[in-house]
Amino acid sequence: MSEIMLFNKPFHVLTQFTDSEGRATLSDYIKRKGVYAAGRLDFDSEGLLILTDNGQLQHQLANPQFKLEKTYWAQVEGDIDEAGLKRLREGVKLKDGMTRPAKARKIPAPRIWPRTPPIRERKNQPTCWIELKISEGKNRQVRRMTAAVGFPTLRLIRAAIGHWSLEQLQPGEYRTEQVELPTAARRSGSGQPASAKRRPPRRKAHGRQR
């Protein structure tokens, strides 16, 4: 068994514990020693980040070859149409190659926290929200995908990683859960590494600590 931390990363926080430029980091919120982020989330993106003190689990969660699906909510400029969603679903050609087909749909504005500072909205320019599920990790992929189909991302929130989700976590809060690790060499019948098994979460949310 190993413990993971599910953290709601606020806007403009680095997914590291130190920064020479004095920007906000994970150390402003998490005081536990010996844990590291399993994967990254951009400085200007918000939402779910998983941390662990187990190197095997960190590798499994962070490595794109394991195809762990990630769910994003993106507020985009413009009112996306079915043609734009279809292009996202089929894969988008970026400078570093085609993306894998994504699951994409338009959604109502989610009930979430206000961002500080708020997004810059253009007068007479509508915005809408889309849910995008991807299983790869190209640099700033979601932003580049929506821009490529003509709907630039204004705000981006990662809502879930695999079966783990934000649930009721507010920015700067985290909760812990226990997971059962797979054997490193064991693989599922599909040829992909077996997933860590989830155990019931410890329902204790931790607020920002300074």
CATH assignment of the domain containing 53: 3.30.70.580
Same domain as 106, residue 76? yes
Three-state DSSP state, 160: strand
Mean residue pLDDT of the chain comes to 87
Q: How confident is the model over 23-51, as a mean pLDDT? A: 95
Same domain as 155, residue 189? no
pLDDT value of position 151: 97
CA pair distance 97, 19, nearest whole angstrom: 32
Confidence class of residue 134 from pLDDT cuts 50, 70 and 90?
A: very high
Which of 125, 141, 161 corresponds to the end of one domain?
A: 161
For the CA atoms of 152, 157, 160, 166, the dihedral, rounded to the nearest 10 degrees, stands at -160
pLDDT 10s digits, 153-190:
999 999 999 999 999 999 999 999 998 865 543 343 33
Same domain as 133, residue 96? yes
**Better pLDDT: 196 or 193:** 196
**Better pLDDT: 179 or 41:** 41
Q: Please check whether residue 52 is in contact with residue 119, taking contact to mean a CB–CB distance below 8 angstroms.
A: no
Three-state DSSP state, 118: coil
Three-state DSSP state, 50: strand
Same domain as 130, residue 95? yes
Same domain as 113, residue 102? yes
Would you say residue 194 has pLDDT above 50?
no
CA pair distance 13, 23, nearest whole angstrom: 7
Would you say residue 205 has pLDDT above 60?
no
pLDDT value of position 207: 58
Taking the CA atoms of 16, 18, 21 and 24 in sequence, report the sign of the dihedral they define. positive
Confidence class of residue 191 from pLDDT cuts 50, 70 and 90?
A: very low
Same domain as 85, residue 157? yes
Same domain as 8, residue 40? yes
Task: Report CA-CA distances (Å) from 194 to 36, 61, 181.
Answer: 22, 11, 9
Full residue range of the structural domain in which residue 120 is found: 69-161
Confidence class of residue 199 from pLDDT cuts 50, 70 and 90?
A: low
Rounded to two decimals, the pTM is 0.86
Domain count, the chain: 2
pLDDT value of position 123: 80
**Among this protein's residues, is 42 annotated catalytic?**
yes
How is residue 36 written in tokens? Answer: 């590291």
Same domain as 102, residue 174? no
Catalytic residue among 19, 28, 42, 53: 42
Same domain as 84, residue 62? no
Same domain as 73, residue 33? no
Which CB contacts under 8 angstroms, 24+ apart, belong to 152-155? 152/76, 152/77, 152/78, 153/74, 153/75, 153/76, 153/77, 154/75, 154/76, 154/77, 154/119, 154/120, 154/121, 154/127, 155/46, 155/74, 155/75, 155/115, 155/119
Phi and psi at residue 58, to the nearest 5°? -60, -45
Same domain as 17, residue 119? no
Confidence class of residue 203 from pLDDT cuts 50, 70 and 90?
A: very low
Q: What is the CA radius of gyration of the chain?
A: 18
Same domain as 26, residue 109? no
